[in-house]
Amino acid sequence: MTENGSNEFPLPKKYKAVVYDQPGKLSTKVVELDVPEPGNGEVLVNLTHSGVCHSDYSVMTHSWKGVLRPPPPSQVGGHEGVGHVVKLGPGAESSGLKIGDRVGIKWVASACLSCLACLSNADGLCFNRKISGYYTPGTFQQYVIGPANYVTPIPDGLSSADAAPMLCAGVTVYSALKRSNARPGEWLVISGAGGGLGHIAVQLASRGMGLRVIGIDHGSKEELVKASGAEHFVDVTKFDGDDLAAHVKSLAGGIGAHAVVVCTTSNAAYAQALSFLRFNGTLVCVGMPEGDLVPIASGAPAELIKTQCKIVGSMVGNRREAAETLEFAARGVIKPHYEIEKMENLTNVFERMERNELLGRVVLDLS
């Protein structure tokens, strides 16, 4: 309830949103939309912040050929939104949410919670899921509808700007690190360690999970990677294939890492990754390469057999992992490196992303 006893805040008739005005190209436009009405079991959220993810760029430009179809015209993108509940739809009260509660919107905007994937704690793979910012209005806007039983509560004491990147980048790498099966004290290589996902993965792995981290990225990102907790940094531009593998193995006890998590979208990074592993190692695939589908070049069966290494994929985490990731952030174990931009500057943000000029993350101020 609001202070005057109402079950909703006073709402405007129109609000600002950013749409992909030329799907398939790098182009966004600020528009005005009508404030939507929450339906059964839904809540209306007044968003104040949204993270900007490389996946948004890939959806907008239709770079994932053969994976997703092109986005529809005037798609509102974004999937890392944080804001306050301002209206409850019929039946939403049963979720326990109240007017004024702060919640987050994730990559999976809604999941059915009853299919086999959901019942297996893999709601990120829900057979009936809707993806935020892809055929479902996303978080590059001031108001959004979300299912009351699937929005994520934001812990008190964690700023909305800090929380936003946790809703995709944070939970994605947390889930990937768990799938690596690396144990405290073991060596972990993170490829793309200075990116939006990578620098959070370094923090989680080193500070939250007790792993010894080797970060690999362009030399311009060394300071960020080391500040995030990496024990070693490797400038990928200073090595060729075999030399890079030998150097990484020398850092990881002379025989290689127990696990590698690839956060970058580079096919070359995937081709290198298996050579960093020791016996019984695990390669976790997180970053989604763009363009044509290309197999991992070094993934010959004979190589996997003789080392007993394995390759696993990791998409996004489930509801529990999202809550655990936010708890890590609330405790100060992880803190995303980001810059704040206005929603009107989103095209420029994507242009900088395309040129690989971003350090860490960008968070949009939607006010």
Q: Tell me which residue of 44, 56, 54, 31 sits closest to 134, measured CA to CA.
A: 56
Which pLDDT score is estimated for 9? 72
Chain centroid to CA 343: 19
DSSP letter assigned to residue 31:
E
Q: Tell me which residue of 356, 284, 337 sits closest to 170, measured CA to CA.
A: 337
Q: CA 362, 187, 200 angle in degrees (round to 5)?
A: 10
The 3-state DSSP class for residue 83 equals strand
Per-residue confidence in pLDDT tens, the chain, 367 aa: 454 445 567 899 999 999 999 999 999 999 999 999 999 999 999 999 999 999 999 999 998 877 788 899 999 999 999 999 999 999 999 899 999 999 999 999 999 999 999 999 999 999 999 999 999 999 999 999 999 999 999 999 999 999 999 999 999 999 999 999 999 999 999 999 999 999 999 999 999 999 999 999 999 999 999 999 999 999 999 997 679 999 999 999 999 999 999 999 999 999 999 999 999 999 999 999 988 888 998 888 999 999 999 999 999 999 999 999 999 999 999 999 999 999 999 999 999 999 988 888 999 999 8
Residue type at 213 in one-letter notation: V
Q: What class does CATH assign to 14-168+317-365?
A: alpha beta
Give residue limits of the domains in the chain.
Answer: 14-168+317-365, 171-313
DSSP letter assigned to residue 220:
G
Q: Which residues pair with 30 in a beta bridge?
A: 18
Cα–Cα distances in Å, from 357 out to 117, 214, 220, 243, 271?
A: 37, 22, 9, 26, 24
Q: Which residues pair with 187 in a beta bridge?
A: 212
Q: Tell me which residue of 246, 290, 250, 300 sits closest to 268, measured CA to CA.
A: 290
Q: Tell me which residue of 103, 142, 102, 99 sits closest to 9, measured CA to CA.
A: 99
Q: What class does CATH assign to 171-313?
A: alpha beta
Which pLDDT score is estimated for 360? 86
Which pLDDT score is estimated for 4? 41
Within this chain, domains 14-168+317-365 and 171-313 share the same CATH topology: no
84 neighbors 32 (Cβ within 8 angstroms)? no
